Structure 1
Amino acid sequence: MSRMMDVDLLRPGTVPISPDTILWFEFLINPSLLANHISKVSPDPSPTDLIIKFISINNEQKDNDIKMIETDSSDLKPNGHKKSSYRSVALKILSLKVAAHLKWNLDILETKLPLPMQLIFLQNLFQITGDIALEIPNVPEFPIDSLTDQLLFTVVLYHRWHLRSIVNRALNNKQSKPQFIHIPGIQEPTYVAPGLIDDIIRKLEAHIPYSVEVLNNVLQSNDIKPKVLTFDTFQILTEDSSDIKQNWENMQDIPIEEFKCQIHYDLATFHLLREEYKIAQYHITQARDLFQTLGPEETMSYCMIKKVNLDGYCLATDVSVEGKIPSLTQRLHASVKDQYTDILEILIADNVAKEIPIVYRDNVELDIQGGLINRKIVVARDLLLKIQCLNLVRKIVDSDVIQGNYIAEIKSADTRGLDYFFWAIDSFLSNASTTDKHRISRYLLHFMAMADIIELPKYILSNKNYSSLFNAEELCEIKNEAIPDEIELPPLLMNNDWNIPLITYTQSKKFHIYKLERCLITSYNPIEIREIVLELDGKNPMNPPWRVNSRWELPIPLQSVVMSLPRGFYQDYSYILLAKSRELTSAKNFKGTKALLSALEKEIETQNSKSAINLSYKFSKLLSWESVLVEILNYYNTWPATHESDIPKLIEQCKHCLGAVQITDHVIPRQEIIEYCTIFLLNMAEWDYLCGLEKRWSHCEFVATISAVCQEVIKFKGSRKFPKAAWDTLLIAFGPSRDQAQKRSSSNISGNSTNTNSKDLMASILGTLSRLRERTALTVIISLLARLHNVLRDESSLELYTQHLSLWPASISNANSYNIRTISEFLLQLLSQALKYYPTDVPWLRVMGDLNFVLGHHGSAMKYYLQAIIVANELFSQPVRPLQSVYWRMIKCCAHLQCYTQATVLCQFLEEVNYSLAFKMASSEQKNCASADAMDAYYHCIWDTTILEYLIHLHSKRGEHHRKQLAVKIIGLLELNSNNNEEIQREAANIRKAKFFRALAKQYVY
């Protein structure tokens, strides 16, 4: 067996090769070698290995990587490529000849060739057949009716491959590991870099609508005469060749039915993947009808459809398959779909045939049982019991482990249960083998022992078909079971006098303590808690009352002070009241929390003379700050319905709390309280005070920088200076590492900011954002995050637009070190919270739509864009204001959502109507779209006569007479009203705009 080696004869020291080995360049020298080699039964290397070798050698020579372009437009023209060497063209022709030998079977090429090589292979095919250099997927638009035979074949093959690649990627999402041993310095031709396939598929998906459109246009064309490129079509270059010519006369004619059958099949596969079942059903029906007119599969030169696969697609799309009797499994699925029609006959037949998997039968049983319980289905009264009996018989004869309480179900049905059980056995017994009869007899004995039903042995003895299943000894046991035994009760059970003296039981001390502890856990009344603690005091020194509940925990500062109190009632009572106050705070019962804290303050006053003065003072201060925290939490819980009279007092308490930190008093509030106080003052617009705070805490630093920006925006309209501190703080929080954060920090921030851990700063920022309510602060932080998002993404077409973006820089250093996904999540969370409190803020709705657009959530983007338009135009009571950038993005959203008629209407809203885009959107609309009525309604919102004229031409070409008449009617009304003055015409346009946006809002918002 000959072998093509990879060694280089011109390199000294390489491994010697066998004389029988064929080197790759020998195929160029001797053209007959290729035909002889691939015509063998099992050629080594295989045809696909030859294609890989030819392509890889050509690529190594040119050092040409796969390039994918991002733009949607194509300006490539024939003969616009660089002139290739004869050697390069010869290698391409060799690979195409091998593919022609394989009959262009995409199943083989897609399986054996890596995806990047498939791209190169198709690009080579375009170059040879059309003299066109292009980079897939940027394929130019070709008029189908004017294509040459060879280019028509190439275009259809490419678009078929395009859709099949999307399907193959979806069905085989995991990339297989390359099966080769890596040698340093040598790159295997089949190696695919990680992530390259996902990148290729992502770019191919953007061009899916065009491929679907081209294939549908080919199907609708009746003037084409398809031909297939053959092995002899491609002419191998020789040393005497002066130009590159192929013998297009050697192309093979194929029936138009075979050509269209393959296209229908590939389109059906793609639409099934997209769950567009109506369209898939249409294409499968056409493929089935065409396939029946063709000859055997072996005689086809183009269509590679397997009959079994086509039948499977027919069953999946509910298309009948002629000449094929449906199996019992298919009949079962059809019965389930048809409200369980003939289900019993199918199960009876399957008990003999044993064809349906038992899991399907179990699912039918469970579905009916669940439907009856939930009252979602209506079936015959005893259908479930009959199915259970038939399934039980099937499991008996299969000798499976019987799961399910069948015996209890039959027993609970009384005589009907036994009747149905033996009815199921009767339907099978006449066709049962000796082994099956033996299994049935064993189960009947088991049933008799487990069920204890007196009628069961009598039923067996009265029927010769069942009694014949048992031997004489077993029949004797069954007769004994049929005779009921008389039960004799012992005398002891008949007498209630057992001569046992009565004993009086007393409650133990431990039970009394347990009862008190249970009351202590459930009670939240300070008076009752005090009485219980007094009663428990000293009764169990090893387990004081505050240890009764393991969930009673206090913050470390509070716990240390409470544990320093004298052991006994005071300590226990203080700990329990504080722990219970935290429970009520978690449950948002702030009134109960205040009652418990007030009771503890009174107890401190009472015990003040009995304990150390310093300790009581420290405890009182900590307790007062806990009360401030409860008031702040109550404010957030009741906002915006908070009483305005309570706000000034709470502001002063927060300032007093932060003042204790600033003057380094020996009693310092907890960090949680400090955070809540600073954020509360930020919500109260106390920016002057916050700017003067000493920034020893990370959250104080962030709040202070945001306060400074708010002052700049309110007092100076953001025109005085760039707020560098806020920008640098955010960069540190989202920075890549602590070292880089220290370098990035400047001396203008604070002395401690360079030592701030970026993770701690990010956590404090997240806590600040979750409690933010003030509109100006929210606006500042949204603009800050939006600008950072724009800088990192650096794409003008995907920028976020909001207020005060000009405050922040337009670039940063080391941008690749930041995680844009984290910033997107922060911004999305902040906008969701802001819109929850201010749902009618137009700039926030706009930027929320922009963010969803950038993230690819086009339906959500449409929702927020429409909400912004609704609010800005006061529910369309005012004329719709022009929002050009929003309209552009709404058009793109509609295109991605395949709502092409909506996109067509939106094209009118632009300052200069983009007719090419409008025509493209209008022509992309499919005939079989489910929302045809909604589209007709949108037609009434079109006022541009040029678009309406195009729609008339388009519907006339497609034969859509209803929509053509509708467009004609609308254009007639517009011409009738053209004599009105400009004001009336402007008012009519505003009415159409409002009507259109109301329809969109009904679809996306409400």
Structure 2
Amino acid sequence: MDVDLLRPGTVPISPDTILWFEFLLNPSLLQKHLSKPFPDPSPTDLIIKFMTINSDQKETEPKAIDTELNDIKSNGTAKWCHKNLALKILSLKVAAYLKWDLDILEKKLPLPIQLTLLQDLFYITADMMVEIPFQRDTIPEFFIETTSDQFLFTLVLYHRWHLRAIIYRALSNKQPKQQLLHIPGTQESTYVPPGIVDDIIRKLEAYVPNSISALNAILHMSDIKPKILSFDTFQMLTEDSMEIKQNWENMCLVNIDEFKCQIHYDLAMFHLLREEYQEAKHHIKRAKELYSNFNPAEKLVYCKVQKEFLDGCCLACEVPLEEIKPSLAQRLQSSIKDQYTNILQILQADNVFREIPQVYRDNLELDVQGGLVNRKFVVARDLLLQIQSLNLVRKILDNSIILGDYITEIKAAGTKGLDVLFWALDNVLENATVADKKQISRYLLYLINTADVEGFASKVLNNPSFSSLFDETELAVFQQAVTSNEIALPNLLLQNDWGIPSVPYIQNTRIEVFELEQKLVESYDCHMIRETLIHLDGKKRMKPLWHVNSCWELPIPLQSVVMSLPRGFIQDYSYVLLAKSRELVTSKNFDGAIELLKALDKELQENVKNGGSLVFKLCKLVNWECLLVEIWKCFNVWPATNVCDMQSMVARSKQCLGALEASDQLIPRQEIIEYCTVFLLNMAEWDYLTSLEKRWSYTEFAAAISSVCQDIVKYKGTRKFSRDAWDMILVAFGPNRDQQQKRSSSNSGSSGSGVSRDIAASIAVTLTRLREPMVLTVVISLLARLRNVLRDESSLELHTQYLSLWPAGVPNANSYNIRYIGELLFQLLTQALKYYPCNVPWLRIMGDLNFVLSYYESAMKYYLEAIMVASDLFSQPTPRTQIDDLVYRRMIKCCAHLQCYTQAVVLCQFLEEVDYTLAFKMAGSDQKSCAAADAMDAYYHCIWDTTILEYLIYLHTKRGEHHRKQLAIKVIGLLELNSNNNEEIQREAANIRKAKFLRALAKQYVY
């Protein structure tokens, strides 16, 4: 039974199950549980459970930049509750039981849990709450020299983890399977989003130099006596204890060489990742020297370096390994690197020991062959032939399938080729086993019987080493090959006249039918299809025509009418042309499909008198199918609608929908009705759609949207819309459609009384086919308003046209799927911008949607694209009616999240009234972002506000940043030189700086 051991009450549990609070009441249970051979849950699962028991605690939340208040919030420093501290100590005891093995912790624990575990360790060992990653000044320098043993251990563990976390993330070839863990502040388990992990790694990257310098400083300390925190070091809290007391006397002393070996190895791995080979070589050499001093019989306490990995790093850094003889595979790679030096001796040795994988040898052969053909290098004349012969011998001994023209190459080389082949075989015969000799003899017999190689048989007979491989019967075969150099052919094979009279070829009828059917499958020419069907009509076929190609499928209404026709040419011709037109549509060859349908319509018109009502019905259905293909073509080439006869298509679409209201029993199939409705909606035929009867669900939504579009055009968006479209959207996304329908029907004033459950499917289909700008604007505003109402958070609202005209409330809002609505809106905006990429409101709301979803780089991209369009590629001032302060504030927050603080400072000037508090806060944050995405100096010339420049001068003076101080003074000096200019000139200068800055941002985020 799969039982969660730390969540009581989930399922019936066995008597020996330990509940999570029992570890708090009886600490001895933890060691007893961990000492089991295969504890379930595992130690790392225990750590995750202990850290996520209290979902209402906030201390595990990482530092975040608030998206509403222009402020940076730190982790709460409120004192933890008694139970929470006890759980943290339990987690640290489990980590100590694992000997603080980072190889285990970084693979089994999600990155946020690792970060929290280290924060808790700092709190317990040093009584300080730190933010990870911390800056150099968070821990004073003198602490490293005078710190306590427990804090020294914590510092080293943190700095090692810092580098290893970056290495582990960089070397992960695929996204690891996300573990389920509880995120504080939520009500259910969820996984760690990749964005959170990327954000942590980006912050860690900024402070890598701090960790490298700290670890190097510790390596240079000669008087330290490192110790490791053990399981017994951590003391559990009791019910009457009020303070945290740990037994630091129970720490285990660590060998200084073991301690430094691990640090050298971690530094070497990091420098290898960054391709800093000189530093990596220094550290791996020191790690090797220290590792060689360890006693193999003693178990290492702190150092977790594996010898094979250490040797691999030594080879990568060219640190000699005298005591290890390189393998044949390593010698092969070294030989390739040294222009194939001693390559033949290596291959000969491998034919005896067979250590090198065959794929390496095949690649070697191809590389040499390609290099010789392309003249990339010059090698010995017969090197390629020798390598091919040695590879052939290896395959013979391995009993592998022999691919390649080895014998052809040997024959082309003549006598030299045979000499090389027997030279390659001679090398293995001396040490060959009985099975190997058997393999060689079988292959030589195969050659004598199948390959005509001159001198091959005598070569075998004249060499005692090879002749001894065969018995007398087999040797006789070689002797016969020597005596008869050519094979005598019978006279019968040397002449054409065999005395047999010629028989004329008679074609089988079944073969002829098959050829005609194949011709029918391959052809898309209506005239050739007609001729082929005429030929087939008189043949005796084994199967019906529609079984010839399994891909020939027709919609059920079409198929039923075609199958009802009398068996003959008209039925076959109709079925084939209809099926082939659908084939052409799938490959987007709409013109070819229309041509086939028109040819079929012409044929049916000629036979309508003889075919009766069935042919007349099929003729109407074919006309509707042709209209559907023309609509597909129109949607595919949109907005280039001039390639289609739009007026004719509009009239035919109205006739098609009119068939629904006629008394005629023949009506179009549903797909055609849906596309005709959407086509008329995109053609702005709103008056017609609103006049349709509301008894068909697939026209109701189109009619509701048409009504809204009419009101906008007539009243310029100054009055409330009818609630029809809003009610239908609520039904589509509502939690319980039946109840929603009852509520709508009970309200006599609501137009939603006729809404059926089919409207949900028709809405989803309709949204993917919208093309007309006004219709798209209405639907986008509707979905955006619904998402804003459901989210009910003013700071994360989406902004676009006509939002205020929709209702402001939704009953039972918590039951709607807001994520699905956001995905549908994202898909609709992507589709709209594909057809109209210069629509500023759509670009802005796309930026808003990415912003509220925390995709800050994408949000910056769309905001900048909106500004580019609104300002005519930054050549004109950006209109405030399109890009207001809210957009600039959100751009500032995006820059802050991306740690591009100088860009945020410049953007503060774009506000109607400069927000100096926010600008100063952003300017003060740039020191924490030494690896930020923006180059600080490059953007200083874009600042025109003297107050901000004066603050920057003060800030750089305080920090001792002389270069940036001089740069700010230079910029402010240029502004003062122009202070006598009038206000209009100064405004124009500011606009120039704005355009320059926005172009730089566009180059970073858009292009």
Q: TM-score, normalised by structure 2?
A: 0.75
Contact map agreement 1:922 1:951 (CA 8 A) in 2: no
Report the CA distance shift for 1:923/1:337 in structure 2 as closer, same or farther (over 3 A).
farther
Choose 633-642 or 693-702, whichever is displaced more. 633-642
For 1:130, the equivalent position in structure 2 comes to 126
The Cα of 1:248 is off from its aligned counterpart by 7.4
Residues 451 and 979 (structure 1 numbering): CA distance in 2 closer, same or farther, change over 3 Å?
Answer: same
CA offsets, 1:854-893, max 9 Å, x none? Answer: 5565555454343333222222222467665555655666
Instruction: Tell me, in whole angstroms, the C-alpha distance in 2 between the residues paired with 1:411 and 1:115.
Output: 60
The superposition leaves residues 29-71 of structure 1 with CA deviations (integer Å, 9 ceiling, x where unpaired) of xxxx99xx99xxx988999999999999999999997963254
Aligned partner (choices 867, 872, 879) of residue 874 of structure 1 = 872
SS of equivalent to 1:499? coil
Partner of 2:757: 756
Q: 1: CA distance between counterparts of 2:42 and 2:517?
A: 84
- The equivalent of 2:714 in structure 1 is 715
Q: Could you tell me how far 1:778 is from its partner in structure 2?
A: 1.2
Q: Distance in 1 between matches of 2:104 and 2:585?
A: 67
SS in 1 for 2:837: coil
Aligned partners of 2:638 and 2:835 also within 8 Å? no
Change over 3 Å in CA distance of 1:618–1:893 after alignment to 2: same
AA aligned to 1:217 is N
Aligned residue number for residue 67 of structure 2: none
1:676 to partner: Cα distance: 1.8
Note closer, same or farther for the CA distance 1:649–1:493 as it changes in structure 2 (3 Å cut): closer
Give the CA deviation at 1:611.
5.0
Instruction: Give the equivalent residue in structure 1 for 2:210.
Output: 217
**Is 1:556 the equivalent of 2:556?**
yes
One-letter code of the match for 1:145?
E
Q: Could you tell me how far 1:680 is from its partner in structure 2? A: 1.1
State the alpha-carbon separation in 2 of the partners of residues 942 and 327 from structure 1. Answer: 63
1:353-502 matches, within 5 Å, as 353-365=353-365, 385-397=385-397, 399-405=398-404, 407-408=406-407, 410-411=409-410, 413-415=412-414, 417-425=417-425, 440-441=440-441, 443-461=443-461, 466=466, 477-502=477-502
> Does the 8 A contact of 1:905 with 1:941 survive in 2?
yes
Aligned-pair CA distance for 1:739: 3.6
**Residue identity matched to 2:757:** T
Per the alignment, residue 929 of structure 2 pairs with 924
Is 1:689 the counterpart of 2:688? The answer is: yes
Cα contact 2:844–2:866 (8 A) shared by 1: yes
CA RMSD of aligned residues (A): 5.8
2:690–2:706: 8 Å Cα contact kept in structure 1? yes
Relative to structure 1, the CA distance from residue 978 to residue 360 in structure 2 (aligned partners, 3 Å threshold; closer, same or farther) is: farther
Q: 1:201 to 1:645 in 2, by over 3 A?
A: closer
TM-score by length of 1: 0.75
Distance 1:155 1:665, change over 3 A: farther
Unaligned runs of 5+ in 1: 1-5, 7-13, 17-21, 179-192, 958-963
Deviations 1:184-241 (A, max 9, x none): xxxxxxxxx9995844997565434444555632443588777646669878999999
Partner SS, residue 662 of structure 1: coil
What's the CA shift string for 1:926-946, capped at 9, x where partnerless?
A: 4xx9x99x8876676567646
DSSP-derived class of the 2:274 partner: helix
How far the C-alpha of 1:770 sits from its partner, in A, is: 3.4
SS at match of 1:718: coil
Superposition deviation, residue 445 in structure 1: 4.1
Asked if residue 846 in structure 1 is aligned to residue 844 in structure 2, the reply is yes
How far off is 1:366 after superposition? 6.0
Task: Measure, in 2, the Cα distance between the counterparts of 1:998 and 1:377.
Answer: 46
Aligned residues: 943
Match of 1:207 among 200, 221, 227: 200
**2:693 aligned counterpart, secondary structure:** coil
The one-character-per-residue Cα deviations of 1:410-465 (angstroms, maximum 9, x if unpaired) are 45654365454445445666776787666545544444445442333344455566
Give, in whole Å, the separation in 1 of the partners of 2:780 and 2:188.
33
2:864 and 2:998 in contact (8 A); partners too: yes
Distance, in Å, in 2 between the alignment partners of 1:819 and 1:839 is: 29
Shift of the 604–234 alpha-carbon distance from structure 1 to 2, 3 Å rule, reads closer
Q: Please list the CA deviations of residues 293-327 of structure 1 after superposition, one character each: whole Å capped at 9, or x if unmatched.
A: 757457999952415266267269x4233445654
Contact 1:544 1:572 in 2 (8 A): no
User: Counterpart in 2 of 1:834?
Assistant: 832
d(CA) in 2 for partners of 1:327 and 1:953? 61
Report deviation, 1:683.
0.8
* Residues 228, 302 of structure 1: 8 Å contact kept: no
Confirm whether residue 288 of structure 1 aligns to residue 284 of structure 2.
yes
AA paired with 1:320? E
2:667 counterpart SS class: coil
Counterpart check, 1:914 vs 2:919: yes
Map 1:792-803; keep pairs closer than 5 Å.
799-803=797-801
Matched, 1:145 2:118: no
Is residue 847–residue 861 contact of structure 2 (8 Å, CA) maintained in 1?
A: yes
Task: Give the 3-state SS of the residue equivalent to 2:674 in structure 1.
Answer: helix
- Name whichever of 910-919 and 104-113 sits farther off: 104-113
Letter in 1 for 2:777: T
For 1:881-892, list aligned pairs within 5 A.
886=887
Following TM superposition, by how much is the alpha carbon of 1:706 offset from its aligned partner in structure 2, in angstroms? Answer: 1.8
Q: Which runs of no fewer than 5 residues in structure 2 stay unpaired? A: 1-5, 7-13, 17-21, 65-71
Which position in structure 2 is the counterpart of 1:189? none
CA distance in 2, matches of 1:91, 1:629: 66
Relative to 1, partners in 2 of residues 1:485 and 1:352: Cα closer, same or farther, differing over 3 Å? closer
Corresponding position: 1:699 with 2:698: yes
Q: Distance in 1 between matches of 2:539 and 2:137?
A: 92
How many Å separate the matches in 2 of 1:215 and 1:714? 59
Q: Does the 8 A contact of 1:130 with 1:151 survive in 2? A: yes
Contact 2:562 2:571 in 1 (8 A): yes
More displaced, 350-359 or 430-439? 430-439
CA contact (8 A) 1:848 1:864 kept: yes
Closer/same/farther in 2, CA of residues 302 and 196 from structure 1, 3 Å limit: farther
Percent identical among aligned pairs is 52
Aligned with 1:661: secondary structure?
A: coil
* Residues 271 and 49 (structure 1), Cα distance of their counterparts in 2 relative to 1, 3 Å cut: farther
Say if 1:509 and 1:557 are closer, same or farther in 2 by CA, change over 3 A. same
Which residue number in structure 2 is paired with residue 769 of structure 1? 767
For 1:69, the aligned partner's letter is E
How far apart are the structure 2 equivalents of 1:27 and 1:572? 84
The more displaced of 672-681 and 739-748 is 739-748
Q: How does 1:180-191 map to 2 (within 5 A)?
A: none
Give me the whole-angstrom Cα distance separating, in 2, the residues matched to 1:280 and 1:197.
39
Partner amino acid, structure 2, of 1:924: S
1:900 deviates by 7.7
- 2:11: which partner in 1? none
Q: Residue by residue, what CA displacement relative to the aligned partner does 1:340-365 show, whole Å, maximum 9, x if unpaired?
A: 67655544454455443344444555
Residue 278 (structure 1) aligned with residue 283 (structure 2): no
Cα drift, residue 81 of structure 1:
1.4
Residue in 1 that maps onto 2:317: 319
Partners in 1 of 2:341 and 2:753 — Cα distance? 78
SS in structure 2 at match of 1:785: helix
Provide Cα deviations, 1:770-789, integer angstroms capped at 9, x if missing partner. Answer: 33220111122223333444
* Alignment-mate amino acid for residue 213 of structure 2: Q
CA separation in 2, counterparts of 1:404 and 1:554?
Answer: 48
Mapped contact 1:904–1:922 kept (Cα < 8 A):
no
The CA deviation string for residues 563-609 of structure 1, in whole angstroms up to 9 with x for no partner, is: 44555455455555545554555555555555555555555554454
Kept in 2, the 8 Å contact 1:919–1:950? The answer is no
Say whether the 8 Å CA contact 1:76–1:140 is kept in structure 2: no
* 3-state SS in 1 of match to 2:659: helix
> CA contact under 8 A between 1:894 and 1:902: conserved in structure 2?
yes
Q: Counterpart of 1:291 in structure 2: which amino acid?
A: A
Contact 2:162 2:208 in 1 (8 A): no
Q: Distance in 1 between matches of 2:956 and 2:344?
A: 56
Match of 2:19 in 1: none
> Is 1:409–1:417's contact at 8 Å kept on the other side of the alignment?
no
Change beyond 3 A, Cα 1:720–1:392: same
